[in-house]
Structure formats: structure tokens, C-alpha cells
Amino acid sequence: MALNVDYLEDKLKQAFRKGRKAQPAAAGVSGEVELINGKAEVAGFIAEAITGYADAAEITMSPGPFLFPNPAGGTPPVLPDLVNQFSLLKVQTALAGNNIVKQGFLASFRSQDPTLSVASAAIVTYASTLTLFQGFPLPNLAAGVTTMVVPPVFAPVIAAGLAGASEDTCATMMALIIDASFRSCIFNGGGTTIVAGVGPIISQPLI
């Protein structure tokens, strides 16, 4: 798993192509066409690309220590779980926030937002919904807060498009910008290992 910018780029290209797909107009002169997908549908395609990409995000279970009760009792009363510390945990809540991203892009489209600033803010908000991570096959868990440190800035994408850059070039630029923002995300919270070891997970980047 882990974040994959190539996946994001491919899905954004598909979303852009769906956005310009047309069909003959239902009523009109010969040769007229109409778009098959409206603003809401295109916003949904872009949201699916972004949340599908984020669904592969992982963090490291660190730094701990993750202390569990000494099964033998006595001293020390707790022991560090050295086996599960530093294991990888995959996000479990990435798809639940899809509508946040969709509504952000839709609002930008409807308002003709020249920099997609509303969409950018929605992605920052969406990142904060990445709150639960789990290991596989061992059910180590982490719960906490993800903060996007560097919001995506889409102005260069819009400028490139207005200057005549191809659709695929714009999709590639957007993918790189979004990927950089997600890689700036930092998770802080607590973790529980399979043997009930409990400890802090601090300043872990999404990978």
C-alpha cells in the first residue's frame, strides 16, 4: 500500500476525460452536442480520485513505548511491546469523507472560483477525517488527528490551463500538488497493540 501519486494522476486524467465527454443534444440543430456529466458528476469523479488515493495512506506506529501489563505480575508492573512498535498501520476512514471533497470542488465550479480555493480548503478539512489506522494482519490500532501542514494550491494548474497546457498536463500538475499536500500531513494520537500495549503516536507523516 502507501500513497501512490501515479494512481492519483491516472484517476484525475480519467475524471477530466469524463468531464468533457459529450453526446448529441437531445433537442437542437444537427451537430449540437451536450456534456454527459455535469459539474456535480465531475466533482464526484475528482473526489473519488483523491479519496481513493488517500485510502492507501499508512503511518508508522511510533514512537511509543507501548506498555502492556506484565502477565507475570510483580515488578515491573508493565512491559514495553517491542514486537509491534514501528509496525505500519493503514488508514480506515479515507472513503467516509468523500462528500467533503466533492462538495468543495462543486462549490468552486459553481462559483467559478479562479484558484479552486474552496476545493483546497475542503481537502484540508478532509485530511482531518483520517482519524483511525489499523495494522494487517495484526490488529494494532491508532486513533487521533491528522493535520495537513501544506494546503494544495491550484492556481498554477488554472494558469497552465489558460495558457494552453493539455488536459493531461494539468491533471499531472494537480496530482503532484495534491500528493505534496498529503505527504505534509502529520498524525498525532495514541496506539494500542495486539497485546494491549498502549502508548503515544507522535508526529507521524502519511506514507
Helical pair 117-127 and 98-110, crossing angle rounded to 10 deg: 170
What span, in angstroms and rounded, lies between the C-alpha atoms of 21 and 34?
9
- Is the peptide bond prior to 137 cis by the omega test (within 30 degrees of 0)? yes
Contact in structure between 101 and 123 (CB atoms under 8 Å) = yes
DSSP per-residue string spanning 32-79 = -EEESS-HHHHHHHHHHHHHHHHTT-EEE--B---EEE-TT-SSSSEE
Residue 115: strand, helix, or coil: coil
Q: Using alpha carbons, list the distances in angstroms from residue 13 to 51, 66, 177.
A: 15, 43, 14
pTM above 0.85, yes or no: yes
CB 117 within 8 A of CB 105: no
CA distance 175 to 184: 14
pLDDT at 7: 98
Residue 38: its pLDDT value, please?
85
- Bin 74: left if φ > 0, else alpha if -120 < ψ < 50, else beta: left
150-172 pLDDT tens trace: 999 999 999 999 999 999 999 99
Beta bridge partners of 33: 24
Residues spanned by the domain of 75: 5-205
Nearest to 189 by CA among 154, 125, 146: 146
Residue type, 160: A
pLDDT for position 93:
98
Contact present, 180 and 150 (Cβ < 8 Å): yes
Mean pLDDT over the full length of the chain: 93
Q: How many domains does the chain have?
A: 1
Give the distance, in angstroms, between the CA of residue 124 and the centroid of all CA atoms in the same chain: 9
Instruction: Report H helices in the chain.
Output: 5-20, 39-54, 98-110, 117-127, 155-162, 167-183
The ranges of the chain with pLDDT < 70 are 22-31, 33-35
